[in-house]
Chains A and B, each alone.
Chain A
Amino acid sequence: MNPAIEARDLRRNYRLRRGIWGAQAEVQAVSGVSFRVERGAVLGLVGESGCGKSTLARLLLGLEPPSAGEALIDGRPVGEMDRQERARKIQIVFQDPNSSLNPRKSVLSILTMPLRVHAIGSRREREERAIEILDHVGLPQRVLHSRPGALSGGQRQRVAIARALIMRPEILICDEPTSALDVSVQAQILNLLQDLRAEFRLTYILISHNLAVIEHMATRVAVMYLGRLVEENAAAALFATPRHPYTKALLDSVLTPDPTEGVPETELGAGAPNPIDPPAGCRFHPRCPEVMAACPRLDPPLVPCSGGLVACHLYQSGSADEAERRKASAHAE
C-alpha cells in the first residue's frame, strides 16, 4: 500500500539578489528531502527557524512547485493533481489564527468558504456541514455568527482547524499550531488534534519548535538542518537515543520543568549559518561539537541506523575510513 504522503528528493531553490544591483544568489531552502508518512501516523518535523520546514510544507501542499523531486499523496504526484483534488487530500492549520482568519467575516462564512469555492452542496447543506464540523472541534453553535475578534485565541484556532477539516482531507499539516497559545489552551488544542486524528483517521505532519509537543504527539520525527534531513526515526527511539549531534543539541536544549537542573550549556556556536552560502561538506560541521576531518569535505548521506536514518560521519564507517586514509596519505606526502 502506498504511504499517505511521500517526499522524493524534494528540492526548492529561491533566487535572490544581494542588494539592488548585487549578483544573483541561490538559496536552497529545501535540498533533497525524502520521507514517507504512513496512514494515521504523525510525523513531527523539527529544526530551527530557516531550516526549510515551512517551505517543505508549501511543497507538500502544492502551493508551489518543487525545483526538483516530487511530493506524492497516495502514490500520485501532487503536481499532477488540480487544486480541487489537492484540497480534498491535504489541508493546513497555521500558527497564528489571528492572521489566518479574515477578521471581517463571520465564522459561518469562514467555514463555508472552501465549500463555496468547490461548489459543494446547497447553501443549506453547507451550513449544516459547518454546524457539524463545529461540533467536532468542540465549539458551540452560537459562535457561527461571531467574527474571529469576538473569540478567544483557543476558539480561533479551533475555527482554523474546523476550516481545514470541512473538506474532509486525509492529511493535515499543522504548522506550529499551538505556538501562539497559552499552555492551558495548548493542552486543549493538542487533545483535540489527538481526538480528531482517531475520529477522521487523519495523517498529520506536525511542525513545531516545541519538542515537548513533538514528543507528546508524534509517532515519527524528522529533524531538519539547513534544508537537509539530518535524522529520522520513530519518536520514542529518537527521544531515547538521538544520534545526530544536532538532534542531541536540540534535545539538550529542552527545558523540562525540573528546578534541580540548571540551564543547559549547549556546545553549539552562536554563529547561525548563512543559507545562501551553506558550509561545504556536512552543513552542520562549523557548529558541531564532534566535528572530524571528513566533515568539512564530504557531505554525509542518510544511512540506516538503529531503525531510523541519520546523516552524519559518526555513523558512516565507509566514508570515515576513506577520510582517515586521505588524511594518512596527506601526512605521508
Chain B
Amino acid sequence: MSALLEVGKLEVEIPTSAGLLRAVRGVSFAVEKGEVLCIVGESGCGKSLTSLALMGLLPRRARRRAEVLRFAGQDLSSANRAQLSRLRGERIAMIFQDPVTSLNPVFKIGNQLIEVYLRHRGGSRDAARERAIALLETVGVPAPRERLDSYPHQLSGGLRQRAMIAMALMCEPDLLIADEPTTALDVTIQAQVLALLKRLQRQLGLAVILITHDLGVVARMADRVVVMYAGEIVEQATAEELFARPSHPYTQGLMRCLPGQGGAQRLGTIPGVVPAMTGAFEGCCFAERCPYAVAECRQGRKELTPLTSTHAYRCLLSADATAGHLRESVA
C-alpha cells in the first residue's frame, strides 16, 4: 500500500537581499493513513514552511521543488490552482496556532463552517447547518446550535480552536495539518484539545501532521517523529524510539533542555545560534553548536543513517557514542 502523502527531496528557497535562503533542504517523509506524524524543531527550522509547501500556500517569492509530492496518488507538484484549492479544505485541512487570525472576525461561526461545506460538497444549506451543529458537538462546544450565531470574538480561546477544528473536519478530510494548534492555549485546554485530536484521529482514521516545538506534545501524540534543524531532517523515528534512544546530538540537546525532570539544578543548553541558511552548505549544519564535533563534521554532506527500519539520524558519530556522552553529562 502506498502512503497517503509522500514527500521526496522537498526544497524551499526564498530569494532575499542577503542571498538565496535555502529554508527547507531535501526533506523526505511519508504519512500513512490514520497516523500522527509530528514535525518538531525550533523557530526557523523550516517546519512551518514544509507544511505550507505541501499545501501550495508558500509566500509568493518562495520557490518550491520536490522530486516527489504525492497525495493519495495525485501529483501535487503538477496540480494547477483549481485542483489544489479543491483538495485544500476538502481532503487536506489545516489548522493554525492562532484561531483569532484564521477565523474571519466579521462572519458568524456558523456561516464560516457552512461555507466550507457548500463550496466543496454543495447540497442544501440546511444539511450543511446540521453537519456544522453535529461537528461542533463532536468537538465539545457546549450549546452548538446557539454557537453557530456567535462571532469568533464571543468565544474563548479554547472554544475558538475547537470551532477551527470543526471547520477543518466539515468535509471529512483524509489529512489534517495542525501547525502549533495548542501553543496559544492554557495547559488544561491544551490537554483537552489534544485529547480531542487524538480521539478524532482514531475514530475517523484521520492522518495528522502535527507541527510543534513542544517535546511533551510530541511524546503524547506522535506515532512517528521528524526532528528538523536548520531546514533539514536530522532525525526520524517512532515516538518510542526517539525518546528511548535520541541519537542526533541536537535531539539529545533538546531533551536535556527540558525543565521539570528533577535531578540536576542546571538545565542543559545548546550553545550558539542557528546558522544562516544562505550561501554554500558544507558539512553538518549543527557542527558549530555540537559538543562532539570533529574536523570531519565540517566537510561533505552526511546522509541519514538508518539505525532500525524506522529510525534514522544524520550524524557521523555512532548513536551509542553520543548516547554515552549523554549519560555521562546527566550523571
Contact with B along A201-226 (1 / 0, CB 8 A): 00000000111110111000000000
Contact with B along A114-147 (1 / 0, CB 8 A): 0000000000000000000000000000000000
Q: Is the CB of A255 within 8 A of B191?
A: yes
Check: A314 CB closer than 8 A to any chain B CB. Answer: no
Q: Is the CB of A190 within 8 A of B267?
A: yes
Tally of A interface residues using CB under 8 Å = 43
Q: Is the CB of A263 within 8 A of B266?
A: no
Distance between A157 CB and nearest chain B CB, rounded to angstroms = 14
Contact with B along A45-58 (1 / 0, CB 8 A): 00011000000000
Distance between B247 CB and nearest chain A CB, rounded to angstroms = 15
Which residue from chain B places its CB closest to the CB of A213 in the assembled complex? Answer: B259
Check: A100 CB closer than 8 A to any chain B CB. Answer: no
Restricting to B237-284, which residues have a CB under 8 Å from any CB of A?
239-240, 242-243, 253-261, 265-270, 273
Distance between A252 CB and nearest chain B CB, rounded to angstroms = 7
Distance between A63 CB and nearest chain B CB, rounded to angstroms = 24
A258/B186 contact (C-beta < 8 A), A187-B267, A270-B159 known: no
Check: A262 CB closer than 8 A to any chain B CB. Answer: yes
Q: Is the CB of B158 within 8 A of A270?
A: yes
Q: Is the CB of A209 within 8 A of B187?
A: yes
Check: B192 CB closer than 8 A to any chain A CB. Answer: yes
Q: Is the CB of B260 within 8 A of A211?
A: yes
Check: A317 CB closer than 8 A to any chain B CB. Answer: no
Stretch at the interface among B84-92, B213-221, B292-300, B314-322: B213-221
Q: Is the CB of B142 within 8 A of A257?
A: no
Restricting to B187-209, which residues have a CB under 8 Å from any CB of A?
187-192, 194-195, 198
Point out the residues of chain B lying under 8 angstroms from A270, CB to CB.
Answer: 140-142, 158-159, 162, 192
Check: A186 CB closer than 8 A to any chain B CB. Answer: yes
Tally of B interface residues using CB under 8 Å = 50
Check: A2 CB closer than 8 A to any chain B CB. Answer: no
Contact with B along A158-200 (1 / 0, CB 8 A): 0000000000000000000000001110111011001000000
Check: B26 CB closer than 8 A to any chain A CB. Answer: no
Distance between A55 CB and nearest chain B CB, rounded to angstroms = 17
Q: Is the CB of B266 within 8 A of A191?
A: yes
Q: Is the CB of B190 within 8 A of A253?
A: yes
Check: A261 CB closer than 8 A to any chain B CB. Answer: yes
Q: Which of B156, B188, B195, B216 contacts A257 (CB 8 A)?
A: B216
Q: Which of A153, A253, A257, A259 contacts B258 (CB 8 A)?
A: A257
Point out the residues of chain A lying under 8 angstroms from B221, CB to CB.
Answer: 263
Check: B222 CB closer than 8 A to any chain A CB. Answer: yes
Check: B157 CB closer than 8 A to any chain A CB. Answer: yes
Check: A307 CB closer than 8 A to any chain B CB. Answer: no
Q: How far is the CA of A260 from the CA of B257 in the complex (A)?
A: 20
Q: Is the CB of B253 within 8 A of A263?
A: no
Q: How far is the CA of A216 from the CA of B265 in the complex (A)?
A: 8
Q: Is the CB of B222 within 8 A of A263?
A: no
Q: Which of B194, B220, B273 contacts A261 (CB 8 A)?
A: B220
Q: Is the CB of A48 within 8 A of B188?
A: yes
Q: Is the CB of B188 within 8 A of A250?
A: yes
Which residue from chain A places its CB closest to the CB of B225 in the assembled complex? Answer: A259
Check: A24 CB closer than 8 A to any chain B CB. Answer: no
Point out the residues of chain A lying under 8 angstroms from B191, CB to CB.
Answer: 252-253, 255, 263-266
Distance between A204 CB and nearest chain B CB, rounded to angstroms = 15
A258/B257 contact (C-beta < 8 A), A182-B42, A187-B269, A191-B267 known: no
Contact with A along B149-180 (1 / 0, CB 8 A): 00000001111001000000000000000000
Q: Which of B162, B186, B215, B258 contacts A48 (CB 8 A)?
A: B186
Point out the residues of chain B lying under 8 angstroms from A216, CB to CB.
Answer: 259-260, 267
Distance between A272 CB and nearest chain B CB, rounded to angstroms = 4
Q: How far is the CA of A110 from the CA of B174 in the complex (A)?
A: 51
Q: Is the CB of A264 within 8 A of B260?
A: no
Contact with A along B3-33 (1 / 0, CB 8 A): 0000000000000000000000000000000
Q: How far is the CA of A310 from the CA of B267 in the complex (A)?
A: 31
Q: How far is the CA of A269 from the CA of B269 in the complex (A)?
A: 38
Q: Is the CB of B213 within 8 A of A254?
A: no
Distance between A217 CB and nearest chain B CB, rounded to angstroms = 8
A272/B190 contact (C-beta < 8 A), A213-B260, A262-B220 known: no
Check: B43 CB closer than 8 A to any chain A CB. Answer: yes
Which residue from chain A places its CB closest to the CB of B183 in the assembled complex? Answer: A179
Which residue from chain A places its CB closest to the CB of B256 in the assembled complex? Answer: A187
Q: How far is the CA of A212 from the CA of B261 in the complex (A)?
A: 8
Check: A268 CB closer than 8 A to any chain B CB. Answer: yes
Q: How far is the CA of A174 from the CA of B156 in the complex (A)?
A: 25
Point out the residues of chain A lying under 8 angstroms from B214, CB to CB.
Answer: 183, 255
Q: Is the CB of B190 within 8 A of A256?
A: no
Q: How far is the CA of A153 from the CA of B268 in the complex (A)?
A: 18
Q: How far is the CA of A210 from the CA of B257 in the complex (A)?
A: 14
Point out the residues of chain A lying under 8 angstroms from B265, CB to CB.
Answer: 194
Contact with B along A250-291 (1 / 0, CB 8 A): 101111111111111110111110000000000000000000
A187/B268 contact (C-beta < 8 A), A263-B220, A268-B188 known: yes
Q: How far is the CA of A258 from the CA of B218 in the complex (A)?
A: 9
In the assembled complex, 30 residue pairs joining A and B whose CB atoms fall closer than 8 Å, in A order, are: A153-B43, A183-B214, A183-B257, A184-B257, A186-B257, A190-B267, A191-B267, A194-B266, A211-B187, A215-B260, A216-B267, A249-B188, A253-B187, A253-B190, A254-B187, A254-B216, A255-B190, A255-B214, A255-B219, A257-B216, A258-B219, A258-B220, A259-B220, A261-B220, A262-B198, A263-B194, A266-B191, A268-B192, A270-B141, A270-B162
Chain B residues at the A interface, C-beta cutoff of 8 Å: 42-43, 140-142, 156-159, 162, 186-192, 194-195, 198, 213-222, 239-240, 242-243, 253-261, 265-270, 273
- Nearest first, the 9 closest Cβ-Cβ pairs linking A and B are A212-B260, A255-B216, A216-B259, A187-B257, A253-B191, A187-B267, A182-B42, A48-B186, A184-B270
